């Protein structure tokens, strides 16, 4: 996965004050929960490293996981919280629009068609799933739909 930020993240990616979607995808991939206060304890270089490091192959996923566990422990004195790794994550399913995304879209009067969902990248589907769940980021759901040319 290349280092790519979404437009709806533009207000914070330069400073990396929030955890960007591509890092959140890597967190779900490696099974580590990272809280924003923990992220804020990392240096700018450590945050950039977490953005840049690949996390796709089994070796990369394990290396990313170990780095995160070490950083969280060193910076906070707390052990990292582990998450279950979804064996078949919804963002990799190009055939079925995630229920949370469809529900969130319907709240604003939009229906996402299976063809639109299929045309999204896994990273875009991941972003919509996260934005449809997260209370504090719901403001970015509509901009994401525009950015991904769904509306």
Supply the pTM of this predicted model.
0.92
| Residue pLDDT tens, the chain, 151 long | 445 799 999 888 788 999 999 999 999 999 999 999 999 999 999 999 999 999 999 999 999 999 999 999 999 999 999 999 999 999 999 999 999 999 999 999 999 999 999 999 999 999 999 999 866 556 899 999 999 999 9
DSSP string, 17-51: -S--HHHHHHHHHHTEE--HHHHHHS-HHHHHHHH
Burial of 63 from C-beta contacts in 10 A (0-12 / 13-18 / 19+):
middle
């Amino acid at each position: 996965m290349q280092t790519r930020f979404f437009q709806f993240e533009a207000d914070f990616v330069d400073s990396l004050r929030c955890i960007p979607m591509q890092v959140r995808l890597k967190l779900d991939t490696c099974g580590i929960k990272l809280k924003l206060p923990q992220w804020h304890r990392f240096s700018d270089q450590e945050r950039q490293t977490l953005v840049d490091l690949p996390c796709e192959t089994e070796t990369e996923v394990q290396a990313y996981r170990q780095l995160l566990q070490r950083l969280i422990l060193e910076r906070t004195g707390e052990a990292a919280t582990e998450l279950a790794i979804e064996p078949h994550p919804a963002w990799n399913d190009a055939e079925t629009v995630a229920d949370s995304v469809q529900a969130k879209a319907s709240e604003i009067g939009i229906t996402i068609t299976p063809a639109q969902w299929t045309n999204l990248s896994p990273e875009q589907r991941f972003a919509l799933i996260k934005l449809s769940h997260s209370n504090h980021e719901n403001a970015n759901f509509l901009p994401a739909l525009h950015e991904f040319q769904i509306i």
